[in-house]
Amino acid sequence: MNQAQAVSRPNAYHTNVRKLSLLALLVLLAGLGYMLVAVNFSNSALAIFSMKIRAPKLIAMLITAFAIGGASIVFQSIINNTIVTPCLLGMNSLYTLIHTAVVFFAGSGSIIAVNANLSFAVDVVLMGVVATVIYSYLFQKTNHNVLYVLLIGTVLTSFFSSIQSTLTRVMDPNEYDALLSTLVASFSNINSEIIVLCLVLLAAIIFVLRRDLALLDVLTLGKEQAINLGVDYDRSIRRLLLGVTLCIAVATAMVGPISFLGLIIANIARQLLKTYRHTYLILGSALVGMVVLVAGQLVVERVYHYAVPVSVFITVGGGIYFLYLLLANRRV
């Protein structure tokens, strides 16, 4: 190692720490802005009521950003492609299919559709079981080929979407109107019990995968290099892929599908930090996601007065950003 390389490593470390600290400060400012803007502090009862309403939504946004941001970085590292997103695994389409099927067969007034806790439990269980069974089976059948699994996930996305579209075409129009609000990501009326359950589930996933997550830096070197360094490559990739799918399932079940969010925040984190260390990348992606969601929700509530959900802005912006990434990579 020459002297220039020895000096550049500490400099890069301190630069990334400063950038992460700045992102954390932006998250804090966005959170304070969301909690305090337009609050009537002259009336203590109204102020407390506002805090009780906003606090669960803020926590839900932070959890969603952490789950999607971390899962997106891990997924891109597994696939070895920075312009893919975990929504290609089909969890968003499966979520819309589950809610459409519940309203179609049981009705919008059924206990599964009305009870938020039961609806969340059904979403998590079905999406978790489908993810575990399908992707574990596919990973073995494709001889641990991640690209084949990604291709099949894309096909499953189209399959779920086709069934959901068919059900909505023959559905009663009144039932369809009731269904529409559940198919768009929303941070309104978040149940605190759901938040606690999401935290427990995500903590359990991270605990189970802690050793595999610690090997991410080695896994990105390639299969042969990782095996030479003593890593059970196929097992780690399979477990991480399931972990990514379950994290996306939990986040989607809590607030609904948010397409392109993972693509946006993961690539912004990579461009901002410029490092291969996944500890920094995952934390950076989560922090960027928190800023995007909290600031976006603040604009939606205070500027557009709930007329347009934040997921619409993210989807439009994500599509434009995706085209930019494609053109930028093509020029390179």
The answer to whether the CB of 253 falls within 8 A of the CB of 120 is yes
Contact residues for 86 (Cβ-Cβ < 8 A; gap 6+): 68, 71, 72, 75, 244, 245, 248, 262
Instruction: Give the closest residue to 178 by CA, choosing from 279, 236, 124, 110.
Output: 110
| Mean pLDDT, residues 54-59 | 91
Considering only residues 193 and 196, tell me which one the structure prediction assigns the higher pLDDT: 196
CATH architecture of the domain 56-258 equals Orthogonal Bundle (1.10)
pLDDT value, residue 9: 60
Say yes or no to pLDDT of 153 above 90.
Answer: no
Say yes or no to pLDDT of 199 above 80.
Answer: yes
Confidence of residue 265 (pLDDT cuts 50, 70, 90): very high
Integer angstrom CA distances of residue 127 from 89, 197, 250, 261: 11, 15, 9, 19
Say yes or no to pLDDT of 193 above 70.
Answer: yes
Rounded-to-integer distance, Cα 281 and Cα 271, Å: 10
Say yes or no to pLDDT of 5 above 80.
Answer: no
Domain ranges of the chain: 56-258
Q: What type of residue is 49?
A: F
The answer to whether the CB of 73 falls within 8 A of the CB of 280 is no
Mean residue pLDDT across the chain:
86
Integer angstrom CA distances of residue 43 from 33, 38, 40, 50, 88: 19, 12, 6, 11, 48
Structure tokens at 49: 């009521």
Confidence of residue 331 (pLDDT cuts 50, 70, 90): low
pLDDT tens digits along 115-130: 888 888 888 888 888 8
pLDDT tens digits along 214-245: 999 998 888 888 889 888 888 898 889 889 98
Asked whether the whole model's pTM tops 0.75, one would answer yes
Instruction: Give the closest residue to 246 by CA, choosing from 103, 125, 137, 159.
Output: 125
Say yes or no to pLDDT of 7 above 70.
Answer: no
Residue where the block lists tokens 């067969």: 105
For the purposes of burial, counting CB atoms within 10 Å of the CB of 92, is it exposed (0-12), middle (13-18) or buried (19 or more)?
A: buried
